[in-house]
Amino acid sequence: MTHLASYLALLFPVAMQAQGVSSALLPSPPAERCSAAPAGIGTASAWLERAAARVLPAQLDGKVLRLRATHDVPLWEQSDRPYEPYIPGAREVNRWYDPATGAQGQQGVARVPTPTQYPQQLASLTLSYAGRDTLLAPNPGLHPFDAASLLLNPWLVLAEWRAHAGDARVVQRCTYRDYPRIVLARGAERLYLSESDAVPVKLERTEPHYLFGQVKAEYLWSTWWVVRGGGSYPFASFRQFDGTTYERVGVASNSMSLVPRDSAPRLTLPDAPAMTDRIAIGVQEADTVRVDDRTFQLVTRAYTETVTLQRDTVFLLDATSGEQRGRQDSTWIAKLFPGRHPMVLVVTDLAWPHISSVRFWVARGATIVSHRTSEDFIRRVVARRFTLEPDALEKARASTRLSFRAVDDSVRLAGGDVVVHALRGNSTEGALAVWVAPSRYLWAGDYVQPDPASPYYVDVVRTARALGLSPLKLGAQHMPLTAWSAVESRVAP
């Protein structure tokens, strides 16, 4: 039996390959295939009207769409690994959409607002507001996320395309998800309609991205169902970046219905200038906090970093918030430590906002020091081509090479004045802390936060004890400069 089992184990994958069948558990989506649109296929305007007749209610009569959904934005940016599976970010919401105004509101399911109250979030493609009872406050910081998430609503997308139908044209016929689709283009956006009945299938466009420059964004709608009162709506909607699902919505069965506008929350948005849909991460002006005469914190409301000069080398501990922050930091470093100095950037973890000015420092010739498990992702970030809006690295790419030094356990720099340590403990796998010996200063990056119950907090303290470190001060991205004794006293021996 042993010999037979071994023989079958060897034979089976060969047989699978011979039949052209992948050994993967699930199939991959077939590649999209496109050709020129057939002659006489009809105008874009005609296809949009056909789509509207297929999925929108024939009569609204002052009604709004109401549904209950689970909205999941997996936390790519904050997960403990840069690869799947990611931490789920699911929340259950009630949602209302007013086709007459293009406004969409949503509220957690624990409380349903009355018709005189605003929902917790109220947004259109140009405006975002936070609601509380009868008060409405502008929320421009949330608008880039709202504006993208709204495109998961195909009724809203179809309304917006119909309003600008004169700018649209039929450009291709593509086989996408196994069936032929008629593709309309308007500017740089493409709308896919099922050739059989014009049901919207996908919106495709290029979106700017603060870490990757730009991504191919696809908004996919599937499994359409009847709405009580008229029309149809998809049970599932997805937002994908370069083919990987970044956001998804699942609608609860039988929750889709048209309801009178006066039985829904207030969905009226103010008449106000449009808000920007570009994500801005922590781009406030930085200020300094002195640790000693050779070590300083660079502080904004969003993120604190540290810069120190040791043995004629400048060490920057973390590089957050994008190229604008990198330029600010560069100006501060020139003021604090005049002259020319070799530059080392220590990346303590891979949360995307925490590394979003790494490319700027690579362009400036800095050596990057990070955990060995971070190397592949950092190299991908550096290799990414910024074609939509070239950044400092893209402009200097021909003369720039990434210099990377990996940390497995500890790495001594500047003759031991700066030591980079891998944190110990399950909650801090892959993260680093930095010991600046002359300052008796420990930089913990994102891994000490105001909540002392955090397992990160405990692992940082236990790592310092195991290494025999005796800091005077602790620095972290989201805490003010703190006496180490106040931190350590909260963790039992």
| Cβ atoms of residues 444 and 488 within 8 Å | no
Q: Is residue 475 in a domain?
A: yes
Domain finish residue from 198, 228, 263: 263
pLDDT by 10-residue block (mean), the chain, 493 residues: 44 43 82 94 97 96 96 93 93 96 95 94 96 94 92 98 97 97 97 98 96 97 96 98 95 95 94 89 84 97 96 97 95 96 98 96 98 97 96 95 97 98 94 98 92 86 95 96 93 84
Same domain, 98 and 158: yes
Estimate to the nearest angstrom the gap between the alpha carbon of 359 and the chain centroid. 17
Q: Pairing mode, if any, of strands 367-371 and 343-347? A: parallel
Q: Is 91 helix (H, G, I), strand (E, B) or coil?
A: strand
Structural domain including 301 reads: 287-488
Q: Is residue 1 in a domain?
A: no
Same domain, 107 and 73: yes
Q: Is residue 13 in a domain?
A: no
- The domain that holds 83 is classified in CATH as 2.50.20
* Percent share of the chain, pLDDT over 90: 87
Same domain, 253 and 341: no
Q: Is 349 helix (H, G, I), strand (E, B) or coil?
A: coil
Separation in Å, CA 325 to CA 286, 287, 303, 477, 486: 8, 12, 10, 14, 30
Q: What is the pLDDT of residue 22?
A: 60
Same domain, 187 and 299: no
Same domain, 189 and 316: no
Q: Is residue 203 in a domain?
A: yes
Q: What is the 3-state secondary structure (H, E, C) of 235-282?
A: EEEEEEECCEEEEEEEECCCCCEEEEHHHCCCCCCCCCCCCCCCCCCC
Give the span between the Cα atoms of 63 and 75, in whole angstroms: 35
- The domain that holds 349 is classified in CATH as 3.60.15.10
Q: Is residue 18 in a domain?
A: no
Separation in Å, CA 483 to CA 284, 442, 445: 26, 10, 16
Q: Is residue 56 in a domain?
A: yes
Domain finish residue from 204, 231, 263: 263
DSSP one-letter code for 384: -
Interacting residues of 471 by C-beta distance below 8 A, sequence separation 6+: 435, 440, 441, 442, 464, 484
- Dig out the tokens for 139 from the structure: 């929320």
- Measured in degrees and rounded to the nearest 5, phi and psi for residue 37 equal -65, 135
DSSP one-letter code for 37: P
Same domain, 229 and 307: no
Same domain, 219 and 355: no
Same domain, 334 and 480: yes
Specify the number of domains making up the chain. Answer: 2
Say how many C-beta atoms besides its own lie within 10 A of residue 485's C-beta: 11
Same domain, 388 and 242: no
Domain finish residue from 229, 263, 297: 263
Say how many C-beta atoms besides its own lie within 10 A of residue 42's C-beta: 14
Give the span between the Cα atoms of 250 and 69, in whole angstroms: 5
Give the span between the Cα atoms of 39 and 232, in whole angstroms: 30
| Cβ atoms of residues 233 and 225 within 8 Å | yes
Q: Is residue 272 in a domain?
A: no
Q: What is the pLDDT of residue 280?
A: 76
In one-letter notation, the amino acid at residue 107 is: Q
Same domain, 118 and 194: yes
Paired with 271 in beta bridges are none
Same domain, 466 and 364: yes
Q: Is residue 156 in a domain?
A: yes
Same domain, 259 and 297: no
Q: What is the CA radius of gyration of the chain?
A: 27
Of the CA atoms within 13 Å of residue 81, those in its CB half-sphere come to 6
